Amino acid sequence: MLPSPANLIVTVDVVLLTLQDNRLHVALTRRENEPFQGHWALPGGFIHPQEDDSAKAAAARVLREKTAIASPYLEEFGTFSGPVRDPRGWSLTVVHYALVARQVLSERVALYPVETLPDLPFQHRHMIESVVQRVRSKSSYSSLPVYLCPEEFTIPELHRVYESVLGEKLGMANFRRKLDDLGMLEVVQRTDKPNGRHRPAQLYRLPTHLRGSLAVRERGI
Amino acid sequence: MLPSPANLIVTVDVVLLTLQDNRLHVALTRRENEPFQGHWALPGGFIHPQEDDSAKAAAARVLREKTAIASPYLEEFGTFSGPVRDPRGWSLTVVHYALVARQVLSERVALYPVETLPDLPFQHRHMIESVVQRVRSKSSYSSLPVYLCPEEFTIPELHRVYESVLGEKLGMANFRRKLDDLGMLEVVQRTDKPNGRHRPAQLYRLPTHLRGSLAVRERGI
DNA sequence: TCAATAGTGTCTATAAGACACTATGCC
DNA sequence: GGCATAGTGTCTTATAGACACTATTGA
């Protein structure tokens, strides 16, 4: 058996999601090269065997290079492959997804609401829709949405994040019971003065053993 | 940007699972080529861009060629990649898994209990263990184990299959309620005479709209 | 009628949802 | 004290598990 043919195109793509105005947005960048030069597309690129220890490492590198973001949560979603999705020939891409809190973005990055995407090459629209579905599904039984919050957050904040991602109202009392159950909260003492004219909420962060990973519940959020 | 380097090895592997004596077994084949010629390994091979419409199609072809099995359920698991897992160089493999009812196997295929695997190259052991974990997890809230049954099956049979995969006892009354809830049963009239000297169980099959896919429950089996 | 397995009805325990209540901080 | 948001207690309802019961077949 011979090594795999040289005409097989192997890339990684990253679906980077964040919340803006309580709605999921995806980060798109302008393509610098042909094909589709100048078009919006997912941040993506070739695997560099000399630099990358794995497809996931390649995705992290590509994300860093194209958006200057290092996400605390990055996971493989799956592959998309076939003879027609890239005009250059048979291609395979390993799609990853990442979640970050809203933050300052470089000028070469645009955020689009996941419901109203522009035309995108390489089946990127399909990838984004599939990832969003997976993220909604996983959010319904895990701590995943915490990665859409800043490092320190309050329960009311996290509550709004869950409601935004899932698109439904969640009772606060049950929500707290389930967060307890997930063991995903570590108390943080406030150092700053809260700003409202009302009772300030307790600050929390993700405990060390959960950073970059998920806590999961059998019976949902 | 240039096409991806030719020294990148891209393959597919298939973890084919079946039940034997109420225990999960994985199908292994003898490698025909170097490296590791003659060793047991997962059925796998290169993607053939001329023949294969996708990585999944490549996996189905490889499975057919190496084991003569066409599984009713075949799904992508994920990728394994890096510079060291294949002695020939940086490699990426798209791992798939398939479930079949126990059946006659060609002589070139051996079934090993997933708990007692031989030494395997290419991180195949790790892949099998990860897939088994995923299959157990998915079985706990979906119709997945039905693909370990023959096309027509009884509820007591399916019950034993679930118990074997999950490794725990399940109450029959609840089990039936949940199967109903999944909508995964279509009544089949028996044509043959049942063989025991006791009440024969009703035969069922998967309804057409579920063949090759899954029914899922929010609250588990 | 018996043996053996198939299949059901129902009681109890647990967890989810709803919602009213109390707590706390700032003005 | 009043307002605004944080956080809790508790009642009701839905679902899961246990287990005893009935059903159906062949001998």
- Judge whether A31 and A49 are in contact, CB under 8 Å: no
pLDDT, averaged across chain A = 93
Q: Which of A23, A55, A17, A27 is nearest to A144 (CA)?
A: A17
Question: What number of other Cβ atoms are within 10 A of residue B88's Cβ?
Answer: 10
pLDDT < 70 stretches in chain A = 1-6
CB proximity list for A122: less than 8 A, separation 6 or greater: A13, A36, A41, A42, A44, A80, A85, A86, A91, A93
For residues A200 and B11, give the distance between their C-alpha atoms in angstroms, rounded to a whole number: 55
B44 contacts chain A (CB < 8 A): no
Asked if B49 and A7 come within 8 Å (Cβ–Cβ), the reply is: yes
Asked if B7 and A49 come within 8 Å (Cβ–Cβ), the reply is: yes
CA distance A151 to chain B (A): 29
Q: Which of residues 167-206 of B touch A (CB under 8 A)?
A: none
Select from A6, A8, A76 the Cβ nearest to the Cβ of B78. A76
Select from A4, A33, A76 the Cβ nearest to the Cβ of B46. A4
What is the β-pairing status of strands A203-205 and B9-20?
unpaired
| pTM, 2 dp | 0.94
Residue B172's nearest nucleotide, by CA–C1', is C7
pLDDT 10s digit of each residue in chain B, 221 long?
Answer: 445 455 799 999 999 999 999 999 999 999 998 899 999 999 999 999 999 999 999 999 999 999 999 999 999 999 999 999 999 999 999 999 999 998 878 888 999 999 999 999 989 999 999 999 999 999 999 999 999 999 999 999 999 999 999 999 999 999 999 999 999 999 999 887 777 788 999 999 999 999 999 999 999 99
Chain D positions under 7 Å from a protein CB?
Answer: 2-10, 15-20, 23-27
Q: What share of chain B in percent tops pLDDT 70?
A: 97
CA distance A220 to chain B (A): 8
Q: In the numeric block, which tokens belong to residue A150?
A: 């800043």
